[in-house]
Amino acid sequence: MAPKRTRRSFLGMSFPGEMGTLLVLFAAAAALVGFAAIADEVLEGETHGFDEALLLAFRNPADHADPIGPAWLEIAMRDITALGSTSVLMLVTLIAIGFLLMAGKRGAALLVTLSIAGGTALSLALKSGFDRPRPDLVAHLVDVHTLSFPSGHAMLTAVTFLTLGALLARTQRSRRLRAYIVGIALFLTLLVGSSRVYLGVHWPTDVLAGWCVGSAWALICWMLALWLQRRGEIEPETGTADNEGPTALPPDEATDARTRTSAK
């Protein structure tokens, strides 16, 4: 009998191990190439027209201090952008690490810590290196005190939400649940980044660059997790169900079910 091929999960779907690895590597490489292309255009000043046009599209043409939409939309965007703040992301990360430690998953807890701490350090280094000022074309609707490129909110939400989303997806047997979890992580990442442009505190290319490098970092950490998993350094993922129906019973419940069946 031929050996059973291992499978890898990517965005909630299962693929043979080699294909899953190639998909993740390709996605990470594409994100890094996208970041490099955006950064090059920004340094040459080629994105000025695009940035201005998109930033003004979110403002009242008669008053650039007034964002488009009803008053409640501005309030909602302020709330949404707070999801990408350092305080919120740190709190979410600490809660996740605490849960992993209590569940006895020390390897996964260490990986999350290093992934998000490393992503934060990379964000600060990139901001300092590019030294791009915040947009002054429209009024800022929230206070900002750091440099602009790449967007820290966009990058760190990608790093945090995608890393934690991938980790949480590994605990699910259903492919639908895996896809849902990763989809929510992507949705929150896109929502927070978009709010930065709406609030006028980032050029659109800041956000695009943040998404690219943040996603690449999360995918690289994901690949590291798979490699460490194969080496037995971190806990193995929960097996994936063969169908999208109800998940299989945990081992202890399955044993009890077999005992009840044999007793009948």
Q: Specify the pLDDT at position 242.
A: 40
Q: Specify the pLDDT at position 18.
A: 64
Domain residue limits at 188: 8-259
Count how many domains the chain has. 1
- Whether 253 is in a domain gets the answer yes
- Whether 197 is in a domain gets the answer yes
- Angstrom distance (rounded) from CA 110 to CA 221: 12
Q: Specify the pLDDT at position 169.
A: 83
Alpha helices by DSSP H, the chain: 17-44, 48-57, 71-81, 86-102, 106-130, 152-169, 175-198, 204-230, 251-263
Q: What is the pTM of this model?
A: 0.81
pLDDT mean values, one per 10 residues, the chain (264 residues): 48 52 85 95 93 93 90 95 94 93 88 93 94 91 90 95 87 87 94 96 96 94 81 61 42 49 50
3-state secondary structure of 232: coil
- Angstrom distance (rounded) from CA 214 to CA 225: 17
Q: Reply yes or no: is the peptide bond before residue 16 cis, omega within 30 of 0.
A: no
- Whether 3 is in a domain gets the answer no
Q: Specify the pLDDT at position 52.
A: 94
Specify the amino acid at residue 148: S
Q: Specify the pLDDT at position 67.
A: 93
- Whether 145 is in a domain gets the answer yes
Exposure of 17 in the CB half-sphere (CA atoms within 13 A): 7
- Whether 1 is in a domain gets the answer no
